């Protein structure tokens, strides 16, 4: 027996699973016995079935198996709610879970235990998307592939199966994952938080089978819920990824919308009245885009200061805008744009002050307004970033000596 033997608690959320629960807990009990006898670092494997307000014989069947504990909830709390209740009641320092419908092989628990004990990782999840032996329906496979690519893009870390329902993790990890949802979107939310918290999360290939009984997962509604959960959770950690993307789209639209009048002016050296509405739209798009981008920058820096870590830089936009040189000189660029606006319209300003009338063409006024508003936005955002950026600096994180 090792000096510090582990207790592994396996939580099984179950709602009306009388068709498959017996086979799952019997196979899991056999796997647990093998782990307890063959793995000297594991003292005990606790099996805890959380009956999530079932109206059938799920609790009775599960409790009939020797060595299986049943926690009966008086009302349905949802998949995630049942898991959280189970984690709270579990006794282990290593927590695992799997579904009660037979889609995940209980025997795979041995692989998860061996992997987390041998690697020192925070979380080990079984991936249904790599390796052989997965019988996942094509629609769900496509959905999981999309979510995996999306989350990998958001976090800058690769993951193949965001919603795997069989994984093992260290109990202390729960305190770093924040408030996780009570529904079926518990697993993608957990994966999203773990990646953003920079936890050591690893995957090992796992076989996957058809479930016993009718599936509770709706590919459309639950898929949309998974997407919203991933985006909402990621937004809490890396807002620049989203506001920056939206801002870039608006800026690109503004530039594209202004190409026509600019090309016409360069060709005939004249601005026609038809361009006034387009120039107003260009101003709105560019100013909105710049403000969206720098709102994301400031939000990223503030979040990093709160978590005492360097700001996320897993995008080209973040790596450019969060450079100390850019932050220090952004207000200078803003000031130059504002000066350019005054220079462009100085004759109109003097004319207005002297006579109360403006004789300059409207295009000068609108272009000057665009330059002034852009410059003011950059100067203000630059000043704000300089105020909040030092709080996420190197004195808070020894690994971040070069962070702003």
pLDDT digits (tens, 9 = 90+) for 334-391: 999 999 999 988 888 888 787 878 777 778 888 889 999 999 998 988 888 877 765 5
Q: How confident is the model at residue 278 (pLDDT cuts 50, 70, 90)?
A: confident
Q: What is the mean pLDDT of residues 75-96?
A: 96
Half-sphere exposure of 224 (CA within 13 A, CB side): 3
6-236 CATH, one of 3.40.1550.10, 3.10.450.50, 3.60.150.10, 3.90.550.10: 3.90.550.10
Half-sphere exposure of 65 (CA within 13 A, CB side): 21
pTM exceeding 0.85: no
Where exactly are the structural domains of the chain?
Answer: 6-236, 239-392
Which of 14-28, 95-109, 148-162, 206-220 shows the lowest mean pLDDT across its residues? 206-220
Which of 43-47, 103-107, 314-318 shows the lowest mean pLDDT across its residues? 314-318
Q: What is the mean pLDDT of residues 299-315?
A: 70
More confident residue, 21 or 327: 21
What CA–CA distance (Å, rounded) separates 113 from 39? Answer: 9
- Angle CA 32–33–34, to nearest 5: 90
Residues with Cβ < 8 Å from 113, sequence gap 6 or more? 8, 35, 39, 42, 94, 96, 168
Q: Which of 215, 214, 209 is nearest to 108 (CA)?
A: 209
pLDDT at position 219, please? 61
Q: Which of 387, 280, 294, 288 is nearest to 333 (CA)?
A: 294
């Amino acid at each position: 027996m090792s000096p510090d033997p582990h207790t592994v608690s396996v939580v099984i959320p179950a709602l009306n699973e009388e068709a498959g629960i017996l086979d799952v807990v019997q196979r899991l009990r056999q796997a647990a016995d093998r782990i307890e006898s063959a793995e000297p670092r594991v003292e005990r494997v606790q099996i805890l079935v959380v009956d999530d307000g079932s109206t059938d014989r799920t609790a009775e069947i599960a409790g009939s198996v020797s060595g299986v504990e049943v926690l009966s909830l008086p009302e349905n709390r949802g998949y995630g709610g049942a898991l959280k209740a189970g984690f709270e009641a579990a006794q282990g320092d290593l927590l695992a879970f799997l579904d009660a419908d037979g889609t995940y092989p209980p025997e795979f628990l041995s692989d998860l235990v061996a992997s987390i004990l041998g690697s020192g990782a925070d979380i080990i999840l079984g991936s249904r998307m790599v390796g052989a032996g997965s019988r996942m329906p094509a629609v769900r496979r496509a959905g999981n592939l999309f979510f995996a690519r999306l989350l990998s893009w958001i976090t800058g870390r690769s993951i193949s199966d965001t919603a795997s329902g069989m994984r093992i993790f260290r109990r202390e990890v729960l305190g770093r994952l924040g408030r996780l949802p009570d529904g079926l979107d518990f697993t993608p939310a957990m994966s999203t938080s773990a990646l953003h918290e920079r936890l050591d999360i690893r995957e090992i290939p796992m076989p996957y089978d058809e479930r016993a009984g009718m599936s509770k997962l709706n590919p459309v509604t639950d898929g949309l819920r998974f997407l919203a959960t991933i985006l909402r959770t990621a937004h809490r950690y890396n807002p620049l990824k989203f506001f920056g993307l939206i801002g870039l789209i608006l800026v690109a639209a503004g530039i594209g919308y202004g190409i026509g009048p600019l090309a016409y002016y360069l060709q005939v050296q004249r601005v026609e009245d038809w361009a006034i509405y387009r120039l107003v739209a260009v101003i709105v798009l560019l100013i909105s885009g710049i403000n969206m981008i720098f709102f994301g920058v400031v939000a990223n820096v503030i979040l990093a200061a709160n978590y005492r870590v360097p700001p996320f830089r897993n995008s080209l936009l973040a790596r450019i805008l969060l450079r100390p040189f850019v932050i220090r000189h952004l207000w200078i660029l803003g000031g130059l744009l504002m000066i350019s606006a005054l220079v462009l319209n100085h004759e109109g300003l003097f004319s207005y002050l002297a006579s109360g009338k403006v004789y300059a063409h409207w295009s000068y006024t609108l272009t000057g307004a665009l330059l002034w508003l852009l410059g003011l936005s950059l100067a203000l955002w630059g000043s704000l970033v300089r105020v909040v950026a030092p709080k996420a600096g190197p004195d808070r994180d020894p690994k971040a000596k070069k962070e702003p």
